[in-house]
Structure 1
Amino acid sequence: MVNVNIKKDINLENSRPHDLAVLVYDKLRLTKQKFPLPELQVLDDFFDCLFFLSMCKEESDLIRVTVTFIDPSNPDPAPPKHIVPERWSCIAFEQPIAMNTKALAKLSKAADPASSSLAVYYDETGSLFIWGMIDQAMHYQNFLNYESDTGSEQPGLFQVSVSDIGTLHVLFDYELLATLKQNVLVKRYLDVLTIGPISKILRKNAEFLKVNLRNYIETAHPNEQYGDWEDFLDGLWIQTFSRLLLKIQNYQHGGAILIADDSIDLDVKYRIHYERLTLSMVAHAKAAIDNFVSESTIEGGIHAGKRSISKALYLRESGSFYDKQGTGDEIKGAINFIASQTCVDGVVLFNRNMVTNGFGAVLRSKKMPRKIYVSSTATATSKSLAAHDPRHYGTRHRSMIAYCWNHPTSLGLVISQDGDIRAFSKIEDKLIMWENIKTQQYLTDRSQNRKK
């Protein structure tokens, strides 16, 4: 009974847009805002409209749009002291438009979620209306997808993203509050890439990167302590893996990744040896360390009262800065190259060093466990596990379950066409499955390093 209750607390089945409205209503009241807040009925109407919108099409395309709930009379009630050039702005329509599915569907073609959102609010009668658009959304998306280290705060009371049929994501600034996926309300995504058994596997796989950088630091920067950089290297490895998963999700084709020690029980249709992703991470880390050391030396000289820096030091600092940018772009290109291979039916095969050894692979293991255990936490503690019958899953999932069951050191991930990611690994005598995996860089602490 404990397992079942935990499962239902995280993923509430038979949910409706009203349940999402209640969550947002409670969240708004906890924020203790000084300005008026919408009544529950307004939020009910708002989420009902967006839910039905997600089932519409415009010019034969599914609707994908972001809507910001923001007051036109006071859109920026607490602006930061320093406003960065790329910060968002509101562009009002000459006349507001009544909010309904038809109007939203039409406007969605002009509001790509990667670049903008639609501004929505309500009047004194509780009627909803679309009053404008908000720009510069690409910087927000870049931060969420690990393409940028910083991002400005987000406008309005909250944002809602329509990403698929019956799928609504609610965000407060950079915090993902919940997702309604058809009839399931997901209130928490599992951070398995930074916590728990999967994180341990990935960090162990980063040993190639760490050995290279330890030797480099000892040789090129003997005054630096390797221990001060270990968290950075773990973060680079895991963020790169997250970016790969995000890119595969964006194709909306579905795919699978297998990290394994060998090719036993695998029929690899297209064998390759592609190590550029790993090598570019090594080069990027070296450039980041070079740049940090050069900048620190310059800052130390300034604090010591020096009025100039040497030409050689300036060239080292500027050169390492551009190397850092260039190797960052190289990582992005390698991620795109690998992600596209998942559009071929079959599995993309990696070794422990994140070197691609082939794609279009078929998993040949047949022996299945009698049960698999779905974990409601990243750490997969015994109380968080619920037993499931593996036969209830599709062919792609069953193949991955069988392979990971027969090869205990392997790690498998299956990405569905709708973007769901499930991870599989054998822990002791159980085949564990994690779902609702966190891939984007959501934050709950507003004090994190972001531009204001």
Structure 2
Amino acid sequence: MENSRPQDLAVLVQNKLKLNRSRVPVPELSVLEALFDCLFYSSMCKEESDLIKVTVTFIDPENPDPKPPGFIVPERWSCVAFEKPIAMNTKALAKLSKAADPSSSSLAVYFNDKGGLYIWGMIDQAMHYQNFLNYESDTDSEQPGLFQVAVSDIGTLHVFFDYELLATLKQNVLVKRYLDVLTIGPISKMLKRNAEFLKIAIHQYLDEFHPAEKYQDWEEYLDGLWIQTFSRLLLKIQNYQHGGAILIADDRADLDIKYQIHYERLTLAMIAHAKSAIDNFVSENTIEGQFQSGKSSISRKLYQWESQALSEKKGTADEIKGSISFIASQTCVDGVVLFDRNMITNGFGAVLRAKGMPKKIYVSSTATATPKSLVPYDPKHYGTRHRSMIAYCWKHPNSLGLVISQDGDIRVFSKIEDKLIMWENIKTQQYLTNRSQRQKSTLI
């Protein structure tokens, strides 16, 4: 929605709160409008020459934890109250933002009986939430308050209800839906086909070492591992705020690669991680089965096997993380990072030399790119980086191009039949809308 304002975000949030039917009173619209106005204008401020980046949690100081779980894990959030509440304004937010890194904490905000907003404390342990969103952890953590608002850039506000991204206001554009192209639609199918190298290796491993395990039971896990790894790479590139581009192509035609390399460690690490995950799963099930059958102890060999598998699973997870960082940093050099179908890096700093663009490109409002969702656009409307990617993907139909802007926006390009299609507002983080989705995600 273009020409949107913070007030439009306030209406969206109030409607969401009404639908939740919580026992907590729904704030008046004027309170929410004041909240989003303050955050919007704070995003344009600087503190010690840095732009403001902060997360606030809308939470009642009189009852901050109305429904605590029966079992409280050690890393659960807690509130630390200030001796005196602080009136919420742009100046106060700018000052406190330096002490409230969004990756580790948030500011506790609420309103008084006159509708005035105030900051009454801070909330810790936010890193576990961020790690889950970014696929760095398979364990989610409960979130405090009614909702959270993150200020990530100038005029950019993200509203979260637990693990659901309700909406994002980007200057004057309100984005209420991010396209899940990595798990649904033609882009997802293309990426999953690219995982064939991983799937063949694991199929052979199961046949040789775990014949009782059915490959079909692990195929969804392998697709998830592949897609999540790719998502993590995009998130890492976004965090550099430099902008970059990725091209997955069959060959090196129409490419001038400045720095040619052959880096296959990411793919090999995924294979090793999948093998160790299978070993860990089978060993744990074997131990559990022995105890259920009445045994009071297990053999040393079985214990050592389970311990070793768990250690290798953690080690290969770290290897994947390091490989992602290694590749993501290459996007900071001007040019394209080139991958083949097996996610092997063949170079970076590449220049796309393809000539000739389509008269129109089609922007899809859905991940599946149905005919009704396609809106024609003039490709000349976009910048040099986007136009060169459009020209390349138009000439090479089996290629997949991704352009990451400095502001973090990701656009995906691919030729589907006779149309060059572009997807934007791409979902990269692990946003979930219900508990069952969260439980399923932890299996990957």
What is aligned with 2:197? 208
How far has the Cα of 1:247 moved from its partner? 0.1
Aligned residue among 387, 404, 409 for 1:398: 387
What is aligned with 1:5? none
Deviating above 4 A after TM superposition, structure 1's stretches of 4 or more consecutive aligned residues are none
Query: Residue type of the partner of 1:373?
Result: Y
What is aligned with 1:268? 257
What is aligned with 2:55? 66
What is aligned with 2:420? 431
Which deviations, in whole Å up to 9, do the C-alpha atoms of 1:345-374 show, x marking residues without a partner?
000000000000000000001110000000
Query: Residue type of the partner of 1:80?
Result: P
How far has the Cα of 1:424 moved from its partner? 0.1
Match runs of 1:330-409 below 5 Å: 330-409=319-398
What is aligned with 1:233? 222
Aligned residue among 18, 25, 35 for 1:29: 18
Match runs of 1:5-404 below 5 Å: 12-404=1-393
How far has the Cα of 1:446 moved from its partner? 2.3
| Percent identity (aligned) | 78
Which deviations, in whole Å up to 9, do the C-alpha atoms of 1:52-77 show, x marking residues without a partner?
00000110001111000000000000
Unaligned 5+ segments in structure 1 are 1-11
How far has the Cα of 1:19 moved from its partner? 0.2
SS at match of 2:189: helix
Distance 1:366 1:164 in 2: 35
Which deviations, in whole Å up to 9, do the C-alpha atoms of 1:228-258 show, x marking residues without a partner?
0000000000000000000000000000000
Distance 1:434 1:424 in 2: 7
Count of aligned positions: 440
SS at match of 2:260: strand
How far has the Cα of 1:269 moved from its partner? 0.1
How far has the Cα of 1:37 moved from its partner? 1.9
SS at match of 2:435: coil
Which deviations, in whole Å up to 9, do the C-alpha atoms of 1:287-318 show, x marking residues without a partner?
00000000000000111111000000000000
SS at match of 2:294: coil
Distance 2:287 2:343 in 1: 36
SS at match of 1:342: helix
TM-score (norm 2): 0.99
Distance 1:65 1:278 in 2: 35
Distance 2:290 2:353 in 1: 62
* Structure 1 vs Structure 2 CA RMSD: 0.8
TM-score (norm 1): 0.97
Unaligned 5+ segments in structure 2 are none
Compare 414-423 and 146-155 and name the one that shifted more. Answer: 146-155
Distance 2:224 2:371 in 1: 28
Query: Residue type of the partner of 1:247?
Result: K
SS at match of 1:234: helix
SS at match of 1:257: strand
Distance 2:276 2:157 in 1: 40
